[in-house]
Amino acid sequence: MGPASQGKGIFPMKASNEDDKTPASRRDFLRKASWAAAAVASGIGLAAANRGRSAIDDPVECSPVPPGTAVGSEAGAKPLPGESPLSAIGEHVCGLHFYSGDMSRQVIAQHYCSHVSRDVRQCVIYDSDKKHARLVGIEYIISAKLFEELSAEERKLWHSHVYEVKSGQLIAPGVPESAEMEVMKGLVGTYGKTWYTWQVDRGDKVPLGIPQLMMAFTADGQVHPQLLAECDAEYGTSSEEKRKSRADIVSPAIQAGADAWQQGEATELQTKTVTMKQAP
């Protein structure tokens, strides 16, 4: 994300008549608390699934915590808003991923990101941008400078963002075109490391198995046309028009080792049983 977007929230909130009667500090608290409630709800799988329903699919409404109320029953617990990690999230980016080792499994990924430093972003990923979305994964995004310092083995876990940006497939929903352009200029030369913990695309009702490494597309003809059309329809955008508008964004050279799957071999995790080490 470019300098213009740092520190600014990209979360459109609906106004109400009640907002006009509520002090600014109270309204700010309620917004942040509602984000936290949605995150908690999604993390325990309370969104409605497309394939059938069960008790775990029924959404549960989470009420905002009243001002000054400690989170947790222990004395001295701190209130959630203000200095919580959620308050640092200020960027929403929608992109497409596929499972490392299986390009046929493609998903839409809603990233909500914050800056750790100028060279590092961290993003939580949901399966939709709705209130009861499921928390499915995380992505770490680093600068080219930091990528240069990675070992050859570590680089196999990372993907580039050049094609995602230049193709118009990566978007920043709900912001003006000029602001989105700054976000894309800031992302085009970065590298991402993405892990999914909940495989909702195969119908899992809860997170099952071990984390899955995810990758990003690097050329035309890889993305399922219907998936791209679904993303365009959701936000009323055109990836082709965005591709044209981003023609002047400079495409940096992709460093060796990124997008390693293109060499014909992909990385996946496996579990193994080990002897438990006891505490001294």
Q: What is the pLDDT of residues 199-229, one digit of tens each?
A: 999 999 999 999 999 999 999 999 999 999 9
Return the closest-CA partner of residue 201 out of 227, 219, 178: 227
Give the mean pLDDT of 242-259. Answer: 98
Tens digit of each residue's pLDDT (9 = 90 or more) over 154-202: 999 999 999 999 999 999 999 999 999 999 999 999 999 999 999 999 9
Encoded amino acid at 238, one letter: S
pTM of the predicted model, to two decimals?
Answer: 0.74
Q: Are 110 and 95 in contact (CB under 8 A)?
A: no
Residue-range definition of the domain harbouring residue 167: 1-8+89-253
Give the mean pLDDT of 36-60. Answer: 41
pLDDT > 90: percent of the chain = 70
Give the mean pLDDT of 7-36. Answer: 44
* pLDDT of 194: 98
Q: Phi/psi class of residue 39: alpha, beta or left (left: φ > 0; alpha: ψ in -120 to 50)?
A: alpha
Give the mean pLDDT of 258-276. Answer: 96
* pLDDT of 220: 98
* pLDDT of 241: 97
Q: How many CA atoms lie within 13 A of 229 on its CB side?
A: 3
In a domain? residue 146: yes
The Cα 247–Cα 193 span in angstroms is: 26
In a domain? residue 51: no
Picking from 58-72, 83-97, 138-152, which range would have the lowest pLDDT averaged per residue?
Answer: 58-72
In a domain? residue 75: no
* 171: DSSP letter: B
Q: Are 86 and 35 in contact (CB under 8 A)?
A: yes
In a domain? residue 139: yes
Q: Are strands 102-117 and 120-126 parallel, antiparallel or unpaired?
A: antiparallel
Give the mean pLDDT of 77-100. Answer: 86
* pLDDT of 39: 41
Picking from 28-37, 118-127, 152-161, which range would have the lowest pLDDT averaged per residue?
Answer: 28-37
* pLDDT of 78: 56
Q: Are 204 and 221 in contact (CB under 8 A)?
A: no
Residue 245 pLDDT greater than 70, yes or no: yes
Mean pLDDT over all residues of the chain? 81
* pLDDT of 63: 44
Residue 242 pLDDT greater than 70, yes or no: yes
Q: Are strands 191-196 and 135-142 parallel, antiparallel or unpaired?
A: antiparallel
Higher pLDDT, 24 or 107: 107
In the chain, the number of structural domains is: 1
In a domain? residue 113: yes
* pLDDT of 1: 43
* pLDDT of 58: 54
Tens digit of each residue's pLDDT (9 = 90 or more) over 49-86: 333 444 345 555 544 444 444 444 444 555 556 788 98
In a domain? residue 179: yes
